[in-house]
Amino acid sequence: MDAIYIHAERCLDCRACEVACGREHGASNIIVVRVADRFAAPLMCRHCDPAPCAAVCTAGALTADDGLILLDAGRCTGCGLCLLACPFGLMFPTADGRAVHHCDLCADRRDRGLAPVCVLTCPTAALHREKHEHFAKRLQRRAAADILRAQSPMMEVRR
Amino acid sequence: MTKQTFVPTICPYCGAGCALNVVVEDGRAVGIEYATEHPVGLGALCAKGNAALEVLDHPDRLTTPLIKENGRFREATWEEAMERVAAALRSVHRASGPDALGFLASAKCSNEENYLFQKLARSLGTNNVDHCARLCHAPTVVGLAHSLGSAAMTNPLPDLALADCILIVGSNLAANHPVAARWVWQAKDRGATIIVVDPRLTSTAWMADRFLQLRPGSDVALLNAMMHVIINEGLADRDFIARRTTGFEALARHVQDYPPARAAALTGVPEGEIVAAARTYATAPAAVLAYCMGITQHTTGSDNVLACADLALLCGQIGRPGTGLMPLRGQNNVQGAGDMGALPNLLPGYRPVDAPGLTVVEMMHAAEAGDIRAMYIMGENPIVSDPNSNQVRAALDRLDFLVVQDIFLTETAALADVVLPAAAWAEKSGSYTSTGRRVQWSRRAVDPPGQARADHRIIADLAARLLPDTPFPDSPTAILAEINRTVPLYAGITPERLLEAREGIFWPCPTAEHPGTPILHTERFATADGRARLEPVEYIAPTERPDDSYPLVLTTGRLAVHHNSGSMTRRSPSLRAQVPALFVELHPVDAARLGLADGDSTTIRTVRGETVAQVRITDAVREGLAFLPFHFEGTNRLTTDALDPRAKIPEYKVAACRIGDEAG
């Protein structure tokens, strides 16, 4: 599936993604979570299938479309059930509390051939918008290099 | 959708020199598009860069000149304000001589503006011109000029990706130069070892394979001990030393006094860690040493820099790709401001003057003593940035006349007799020099608000009133053309070339045909004999130590979401929302002893002053160490103005404090 994949070990809690997303969308749909002053990870809507938020939505504002959960803000009544249903806490109330917002992988930019802003702005390239096999290939290559280095310490392994 | 244009600019925040495209619609900046081809960070921007538009259309922007009357500001025309400034400076000049004037240039203004500003000061007869590099990398200017003949970063930022070992000493680049972390991670992906040396476990240390958590101010002991190990274990690059340096014998003898055991006692870093770090750095085929305020902001800042240079030279880690010394410059144009001679002892291009003027902190002491009677401050906020704020306030109050030129009514501007409204970064064109000596052109995208004017225009106007017979070009390209004639390092960085150079041009660039110089010292050093100087330095403790009255060590530093004095970032809604107020980091054991919980409000005091901050309990600091970010007015009421004797930088990194109700 298409999604934003995260190399969380590269996240340095700089908040560039939150500020960029907030600028583009009025409020940020991505949130960086800091853990024990040792790690951080940026998190955004996982576009689940089936999606608990869409399942509880009383107004039909959340629908699945081609692997993404789309929000029709015009239909949202602000009932807040989706805020309760999301297991990750990645649906957010709007500032006035009357509706919700979440990450749609910068759908409006995709129509113009542009990548999501969090992906473009991340200073350490922790975020990638790509097919899973490309993301996995990077991890597999790194794992192979680690194994080879461990088993043959004399080997010069460049990833 | 109406037509949008994308204007290429350079980010106004840190010294990385990231490019960004400002999206302009109907004359207003409406968005940012990322410059994904730009070599510094492939278009990435940190939180500050992403918020950079927020200072443009801001309600607090200064839009008219202001004159203070009966303690309150009133609006004035440009003509009235400029005549008032000219008359006041002329009067002080006549009554007390040119050295009764003080000029603070701006590390945030362009090369052209800083060049004009120091030209004005010097044409009036004084060398009392300085800027905030004094508070930041002045020891680099002293130390690396001595060691290498040239005080600048030796390799471009992306060279970090080519290193096999990166030694990061006293730099929190993850927060302050975040795009540099991309290259650090690329090096890690290739198997490089990252060593971080810092009193705090910062997000930079999250990338570390080895973390040496030393006591603030003990860097010379650590670095000397590393050199002890390297020399005694035969890991020094003897060939490089013989061909390209002088002073090895004296250094080798000197570091015998620094066995790892002694350094362990002084630094608090285990012996084994010191030895391992030394071996890793010395045996890496290519190693970079990156450093920042943790090295420079000490009374021993110059010594600290010399020790860093010694280590790199000892191991032959200079003059090749993936190696070098990287003093990471803080402001977007602090490198350029120095290059342009906004310094009391150096002319444009780093030629020494005969009779050096006063440095930043010395000017404040002189103002308090009545020796400096008038000051012209451009784009700097000494009330927040300088140490010992109470003294600075007294100094500026004592002046006969203060004129401040800025985009906001900062804490310093509030004290002025005349305030001149300036254009912000995207509202004027000019060249800016990043930390890696990359000179880049930033294009004007939108008009300044109200009657605000570009700084170069204001300076040229004042110069015309005070020095009508001296030519002061006022267009950026004309000023750059004059710089080409007067600054050899920039001779070939002509307007024609620079406006087309999407990746900038690295100085030295001596001719219009020269491609620029990304890596320094490849064949010879910039010293008279072409060799680098190895210089032994002795460990000296910080000036202020904890005692019964002030039992904790206070250190200061930066955050990822704010920048320097906070005049721009504290006014940017998206950044203020991230960190709205001053906090103090305390170790859980200290907090428990003080009866403080996370989120409590508490008072921190030093012998110089006090401030209130919110408690943040973390084990990122060791027991006995408190940390305050300096982006908020309040922190520098506490810090000391004790200075490094050569560089004149204050010891921001070490003070003695007490917190809360602990009995003093």
Q: Tokens for B62?
A: 């200064």
Alpha-carbon separation of residue B540 from A23, B352, B455, B645 (angstroms): 48, 29, 42, 13
Best of A9, A11, A12, A111 to substitute, by most chain B Cβ atoms within 10 angstroms, is A12
| Interval B530-578: pLDDT, tens | 999 999 999 999 999 999 999 999 999 999 999 999 999 999 999 999 9
Q: For residues B574 and B561, give the distance between their C-alpha atoms in angstroms, rounded to a whole number.
A: 9
* Ramachandran class of B535: left when φ > 0, alpha when ψ lies in -120 to 50, beta otherwise: beta
The structure tokens 């500003």 sit at B117
Angle between the B476-486 and B111-123 helix axes, to the nearest 10 degrees? 70
pLDDT tens for residues B384-443? 999 999 999 999 999 999 999 999 999 999 999 999 999 999 999 999 999 999 999 999
**Residue of B13, B193, B206, B563 for testing the chain A interface, max A β-carbons within 10 Å:** B206
- Write the DSSP symbol of residue B450: T
Contacts of B190 in chain A (CB under 8 A): 158-159
Structure tokens at B27: 């004359």
Angle (nearest 5°) at CA B288 between B287 and B294: 135
Chain B residues within an 8 Å CB radius of A38: 201, 206
Rounded Cα–Cα distance for residues B199 and B298 (Å): 14
**Predicted pLDDT at A158:** 52
Q: What pLDDT digit, counting tens, does each position of B576-632 carry?
A: 999 999 999 999 999 999 999 999 999 999 999 999 999 999 999 999 999 999 999
Partner-chain contact A159 B191, CB within 8 Å: yes
User: DSSP class of residue B435?
Assistant: T
Residue A39 β-bridge partners = A35
Give pTM, 2 decimals: 0.96
Closest Cα of chain A to B166: distance in Å? 16
Chain A residue with CA closest to B174: the answer is A12
Identify all chain B residues contacting A141, using CB atoms and an 8 Å cutoff.
none
Q: With CB atoms and an 8 Å threshold, state whether B174 touches A157.
A: no
Q: What is the pLDDT of residue A156?
A: 58
Tell me the average pLDDT of chain B.
97
Measured between CB atoms, which of B34, B46, B620 is closest to A14? B46
The reply to whether residue A124 touches residue B185, judged by beta carbons under 8 angstroms, is yes
The residues, any chain, with a CB within 8 Å of residue B59's CB and separated by 6 or more, are none
A positions 17-56 inside 8 Å of B (CB): 18-20, 22-24, 37-40
Q: Give the best residue of A7, A10, A13, A15 to mutate against chain B (max B CB count within 10 A).
A: A15
Q: Which residues of A touch B174 (CB under 8 A)?
A: 12-14
Q: Which of B649, B487, B440 is nearest to B15 (CA)?
A: B440
Residue in A22, A39, A40 closest to B574 by CB: A22
* CB burial readout A102-112, b (16+ within 10 A) else e: bbbbbeebeee
For the beta carbon of residue A129, count every other beta carbon within 10 angstroms.
Answer: 18
How far is B115 from B472, CA to CA, in rounded Å? Answer: 10
Which residues does chain B have within 8 Å of residue A120's beta carbon, measured at their own beta carbons?
Answer: 34, 36, 43-44
Could you tell me how far CA A97 lies from the centroid of its own chain?
Answer: 23
- A23, B574: Cβ pair inside 8 Å? yes
- Residue B252 has a pLDDT of 98
Mean pLDDT of B187-195: 93
Average pLDDT over residues B144-160: 97
CB < 8 Å from A in window 188-247 of B: 189-191, 201, 203-204, 206-207
* C-alpha closest to that of B461 among B77, B69, B61: B77
Q: What is the β-pairing status of strands B324-327 and B193-197?
A: unpaired
Which residues have a Cβ under 8 Å from the Cβ of B200 and sit 6 or more positions away? B172, B213, B555, B557, B585, B620, B621, B625, B627
With b meaning 16 or more CB within 10 Å and e meaning fewer, what string describes B615-651?
Answer: bbbbebbbeebbbbbbbbbbbbbbbbbbbbeebbbbb
Of A19, A124, A157, the CB nearest to B50: A19
C-alpha to C-alpha distance for B48 and B202, rounded to whole angstroms: 18
Peptide bond into B508 cis (omega under 30): yes
B-contacting residues in A 70-129 (Cβ below 8 Å): 114, 117, 120-125
At residue B204's C-alpha, the angle toward residues A153 and A102, to 5°, is 110
Per the CB < 8 A criterion, the answer to whether B139 and B112 are in contact is no
Residue B473 main-chain phi, psi, to 5 deg: -60, 145
Q: How many CB atoms lie within 10 A of CB A60?
A: 10
Residues in chain B within 8 Å Cβ distance of A39: 206
Identify the pLDDT of residue B664: 46
Q: A16 and B53: CB-CB below 8 Å?
A: no
pLDDT band of residue B662 (cuts 50, 70, 90) is low
Per-residue HEC secondary structure of chain A comes to CEEEEECHHHCCCCCHHHHHHHHHHCCCCCEEEEECCCEEEEECCCCCCCCHHHHHCCCCCEEEECCEEEECCCCCCCCCHHHHHCCCCCCEECCCCCCEECCCCCHHHHCCCCCCHHHHHCCCCCEEEEEHHHHHHHHHHHHHHHHHHHHCCCCCCCC
Structural domains in chain B, sorted by start: 5-55 (2.20.25.90), 66-134+332-428+449-473 (3.40.50.740), 154-327 (3.40.228.10), 552-659 (2.40.40.20)
Give the model confidence (pLDDT) of B35-81 as tens digits: 999 999 999 999 999 999 999 999 999 999 999 999 999 999 999 99
Contact check, Cβ <8 Å, B41/A123: yes
> Cβ A23–B51 below 8 Å, yes or no?
yes
Q: Taking CB atoms and an 8 Å cut-off, how many pairs form between chains A and B? A: 99
Distance CA B150, CA B528 (A): 11
Q: How many CB atoms lie within 10 A of CB B401?
A: 19
Set of chain A residues whose Cβ sits within 8 Å of the Cβ of B42: 125
The closest alpha carbon to B431, from B476, B374, B497, B482, belongs to B476
What pLDDT, on a 0 to 100 scale, did the predictor assign at position B644? 97
Distance from CA of A122 to the nearest CA of B (A): 6
| Mutate: best of B42, B164, B185, partner A, most A CBs <10 A | B185
| CB-based contact B203 A20, cutoff 8 Å | no
Partner-chain contact B203 A14, CB within 8 Å: yes
Which chain B residues have a beta carbon less than 8 Å from that of A14? 46-47, 174-175, 178, 203, 560-561
pLDDT single digits (tens) B203-247:
999 999 999 999 999 999 999 999 999 999 999 999 999 999 999
Q: What are phi and psi of B609, to 5 degrees?
A: 175, -175
- Edge-to-edge strand list for the sheet holding B5-10: B5-10, B19-25, B28-34
Tell me, what's the pLDDT at A143? 86
One DSSP character per residue, B356-379 reads ----HHHHHHHHHHTS--EEEEES
CB contact under 8 Å between A37 and B618, yes or no, is yes
Q: Do B50 and A157 touch (CB under 8 A)?
A: no
Scanning B23-52 for CB atoms below 8 A from A yields 31-34, 36, 41-47, 49-51
Percent of chain B with pLDDT over 70: 99
Distance from CA of A104 to the nearest CA of B (A): 19
Residues of chain A short of pLDDT 70, as ranges, are 1-2, 153-159
Contact assessment for residue B248 and residue B193, using Cβ atoms and an 8 Å cutoff: no
Q: Name every residue whose Cβ is closer than 8 Å to that of residue B261 and which is 6 or more positions away in sequence.
A: B271
For A28, nearest residue in chain B (alpha carbons) = B574
Whose CA is closest to B205, among B619, B616, B635, B555? B619
Please measure the distance between the N-terminal and C-terminal CA atoms of chain B and give it in whole angstroms.
Answer: 65
